[in-house]
Chain A
Amino acid sequence: MEKEKKYTVIAGCGRLGASIAGKLSDEKKDVMILDCDKTAFRKLPYSYGGLTMTAGATDIEKLTAANLKEASVFLAVTDYDCVNICAAQIAKKVFQIPKVVARIYDEEKTELVKSMGIDTICPSELSEKEISNYIEIGGMKHVG
């Protein structure tokens, strides 16, 4: 029987990474989270039942050893744009992971990865949308 590949790899155990990892683990999904600082894993909830690995997000050797080829989703959510871009590109091009998402703070850099089929999350863009939603609630314009 063909082994179903359905595991999610999260690079960067910050607030975002840890909280996504916790949620996926609660839903009984297979998750692996990596961070180069092993103390970062303290942020994971007690209930977390997935794997952790102390490795840099762009460390190809360690990622190969962790069998990243079998992953179906890769999330690059470290604090650094360049690391996220590089990790996402490695996930896409070296390990051919079908779904790759990268958090990129600097909007101008999103174009670098979009053309490769990598999805991007840009916090400032999201906040901007939310804020404009708040100030135009119900068709009432609060901003003159």
Chain B
Amino acid sequence: MLGKRKEQGSILIVGGFNKARSLANSLLKKGYRVTVINKEYDACEKLAEIHKLNVIYGDGSKRFILEDAGADTCQVAIALTESDETNLVICEMCKQFFHVKKTVALLNDPSKTNFFYQMGIDRVVCALNMITGIMEEQALMDEMTTRVPFDEDRIHIMEIPILKNSAMAGKKLWELNLPKEIIIGCILRGDRSLIPRGDTRIREGDVLLIITSDKSKLEEIKELTEYAAS
């Protein structure tokens, strides 16, 4: 099994219908070879309408179905079924029996996240955590449009628009006196993106991509972008 050539860019998606469909579409567009497994016949028929998509009808938690789907030639396996336990078993089988390099599991119950990582799953996506996170962010922070936590919440990337009359507008980066835990990674200006240097001047209408290692610095950033006191 190990000797078999791993084809570049093959991805296996098990379970899920709407999620699988939109994920498959997006991956196919990027040029990956995609196979989906679904145990509902109707769902398979609809999925089969997608051009170039391989569809396997069967229970993805069975070894022979994974084998039929060519799991041993895939680099990535994504388990999207509704059951956490099934997703775990699918990923474990892909890893142990078919030596899939990277396994991704969808998880409903956030308390199992660490356990899933402990069992050797490469990426655990907890939809509930993400949605509540986004909701909280949308409810609490208006001016900071997106906040992406990385590396188990230790690093945050945020987009901050520079509004009219912001205290930051018109200043060069070195004049800003940013806290140590914050850097401006990129400036989005119109349809261009600039990698900023110390002498880059911030303008109204810019969007700053800010990277911070400390969530509590959010308030300080807020103050910095606020209207000039004068």
Contacts and interface: CB of A to CB of B under 8 A. Distances in A.
Interface of A: 58-61, 80-83, 85-87, 89-90, 93-94, 106, 108-109, 111-112
Contacts of B83: 82-83
Going nearest first, the 7 A-B pairs with the smallest beta carbon separation are A86-B85, A82-B85, A108-B63, A82-B89, A82-B86, A83-B85, A60-B111
B115 A90 contact: yes
B96 A59 contact: no
B88 A85 contact: yes
Given A82-B85, A86-B84, A60 B115 contact: yes
Bin the interface of chain B by size. 20 to 34
A122 to B, nearest CB: 14
Contacts of A93: 115, 118-119
B89 A109 contact: yes
Interface of B: 61-64, 83-86, 88-89, 92-93, 96-97, 109, 111-112, 115, 118-119
Interface of A is mostly: helix
Interface residue SS majority, chain B: helix
A34 to B, nearest CB: 15
Given A89-B119, A112-B96, A60 B89 contact: no
A35 B125 CA distance: 27
B192 to A, nearest CB: 48
- Of A59, A61, A109, most buried by chain B (CB within 10 Å of CB) is A109
